[in-house]
Structure 1
Amino acid sequence: MKISIIPFLILLFMDNTSFSPPISDELGTRHAHNVEFTGDCGFKVDEYDSAVMWNNLRYRLNDDSKNGMLERGEKIGEVVFKVNGNVCLGYRMQNGDATWAEVGTPIYKVKGYSERFRIFLGDELFEVSNIPTAQKIGDFYDFTDKVKKISIEYPIGNSPSIDFSKEETEQFLHAFLEQEYVPFQDIYKNLSENSTHYYLRVHFHDQSVTVISYWIEDNAFTTGYGNDLIKKIITSKAENLAALSSLKP
């Protein structure tokens, strides 16, 4: 099954953000670069996906997860500028900016998780999508003692799914988190045409989930490449998934 990657790539490249100075240097003011992009212009951009900038990290909305068992931690800030409908082409998001949330929307830690992985923006869960200082894929996640299982599925509605075994889950996580970080811009340049795109759905003990994209021909994620063990595990599950899918009407 071949899945088009174009819609997904559009969202990913919207994460290519120029990062700003520390929050204490900029809250309450707008960076000089952006002055010309927040005034009068012929076209105000209103097409950003749901994102927020905080502590020089960009976070994207996780709308795949059930969050009923997640708890807010301490309040760490609030939105100071709404991007959508208020900026011209060329604007760079800064700390305290959100694409859709209104000014004053509170930002909270998520109890039990690193702030560098997850935050709450109001009642919505956001997960980090861009870290300028990342060295390993593991810099993007906080999985220690939190993962219940991993499953694989196609990025389409009503896709069947196949679970990794407990041993496969442990082996995958150990290898995955240690892989070198590679920006997706660089991965995209070498992706095979019509790559087969899968979702790995990571299920946490608190019933929340995070979804990781994977292209099997290239052994590629959005944050780096897999090793031989990773490809072996995923390939065996992808074959089972294909067989199961062929039985579907």
Structure 2
Amino acid sequence: MVGIKWTSKPLFVLLIILTVSGCGEVGVIMKSQIDTLKSVLKGSSELCMGDIEWVDFIMINNIKYLQNFGETKEVTVTSNQLGDKVGEVSYMLSEHACTDHVAKNGDAAFLPIGTDIYAMEGYKTEFRVIADNKIYEVSDNPNAATIGDLLDINGRVVKVSLESGMDGSPIGDFTMDASSEFIQELLPLSHVSFNEVYEKTKHENSIFLRVHLQDSTSFRLVYYPKANAFTAGAFGTERLNEIIMTQRKQIKAAAGL
């Protein structure tokens, strides 16, 4: 049967069962059982229909990490940034999982099974790891009580800058004093779930901030001024809101915006 490609192993098994059962070569299979199996397979097929746009993530030790894509320099295997092995990929979601998949330790969106995951020298593993020569940064840590627990950046920040909300391009930098006070106000904030923040910010325009670290890497923080909230999972203080809005106004004025 040239040109036929089986795309679903469960469906293939079902067809064999139906064919053999119909020929009377095996015991009787109840119609209700077959209908149930059909229903299950139909639901699974519908979940997997079309291309699924996975976010590039990995999960180990109950912590989810997202690739710091395009915002830091690529790490090479000979770099002194590569630390001890802390895990490996046991399942790749792309082309294998459906939309109902629940992430678990060892999962990765695009990394092949067996890909090693390493600590990143100079940082706590809870904040950053390296896999396939790429930096993966924490997005969800259920054990983080504060933003300081979530982001291992205390004493590592060079500056904070403002980016365009349209295309992410740089607009200007906070003053050194403002950058320092921003971090001092940020790190003690209580860490809350993304859902708590989302409920307060889902209809609000955001401000893009970038935190630059001493090793020349950086990451973005998304801030919502009306809710005084960060998508990293925190609600800010009045002083933190004041710092951000004052610096934003000054930077945009200097840029003629």
Shared fold (TM-score greater than 0.5)? Answer: yes
Match of 2:64 among 58, 65, 70: 58
**Distance in structure 1 (CA, Å) of the matches to 2:247 and 2:182:** 12
Higher relative contact order (CA 8 A, sep 6+): 1
Shift of residue 43, structure 1, vs aligned partner: 4.1
Verify: 1:199 aligned to 2:205, yes or no.
no
- 1:84-95 matches, within 5 Å, as 84-95=94-105
Distance 1:180 1:98 in 2: 28
Pairing 1:138-177 to 2, within 5 Å after superposition: 138-157=148-167, 159-177=169-187
Structure 2 counterparts to residues 64-83 of structure 1, below 5 A: 64-67=71-74, 71-83=81-93
The alpha carbon displacement at 1:134 in A equals 2.3
Residue 5 of structure 2: aligned partner: none
TM (normalized to structure 1)?
0.77
Write out aligned runs for 1:157-236 (5 A). Answer: 157=167, 159-191=169-201, 193=203, 195-222=204-231, 223-236=233-246
Q: CA contact under 8 A between 1:212 and 1:221: conserved in structure 2?
A: yes
TM-score by length of 2: 0.75
| AA matched with 2:45 | C
Structure whose alpha-carbon radius of gyration is higher: 2
Residues 164 and 246 (structure 1), Cα distance of their counterparts in 2 relative to 1, 3 Å cut: closer
Q: Compared with structure 1, are the counterparts of its residues 42 and 158 closer, same or farther at alpha carbon in structure 2 (3 Å cutoff)?
A: closer
Query: 1 CA distance for matches of 2:80 and 2:160?
Result: 19
Question: Which SS does the other structure have where 2:226 is aligned?
Answer: helix
Q: Contact (CA 8 Å) 2:173, 2:251: kept in 1 or not?
A: no
Structure 1 residues 133 and 236: CA distance shift in structure 2, 3 A: same
Q: Mean alpha-carbon deviation: is it higher for 195-204 or for 221-230?
A: 195-204
Residue 206 of structure 1: how far off its partner (Å): 1.0
Instruction: Work out whether residues 67 and 208 of structure 1, in 8 Å CA contact, stay in contact via their aligned partners in 2.
Output: no
Structure 1 residue runs without a partner (length 5+): 1-35
Secondary structure of the corresponding residue to residue 241 of structure 2: helix
Tell me by how many angstroms 1:67 deviates: 4.2
Q: CA deviation at 1:244?
A: 4.3
Q: Which moves more between the two structures, 183-192 or 201-210?
A: 183-192
Cα shift at 1:77? 1.9
1:125 Cα shift? Answer: 0.6
Misfit runs of 4+, over 4 Å = 67-70, 244-247
Q: Is the 8 A contact 1:160 1:245 kept in 2?
A: no
Change (3 A) 1:42 1:80: same
- Whether contact under 8 Å (1:151, 1:200) holds in the other structure is yes
More deviation in 224-233 or 238-247? Answer: 238-247
Deviations 1:39-97 (A, max 9, x none): x6344363211000011100011011124577111122211110122122321111111
Does the alignment pair 1:41 with 2:48?
no
Unaligned runs of 5+ in 2: 1-39
Q: Which whole-Å CA distance do the structure 2 matches of 1:171 and 1:220 have between them?
A: 17
| Distance in 2 between residues matched to 1:42 and 1:231, nearest whole Å | 45
On the 8 A contact 2:172/2:255 being kept in 1, the answer is no
Stretch of structure 1 that moved more, 115-124 or 65-74: 65-74
The number of residue pairs the alignment matches comes to: 210
Calculate the aligned-residue CA RMSD, in Å.
2.3
* 2:134 is the counterpart of 1:130: no
Q: Secondary structure at the match of 1:241?
A: helix
Cα distance in 2, alignment partners of residues 180 and 123 from structure 1: 32
Identity of aligned pairs, percent? 30
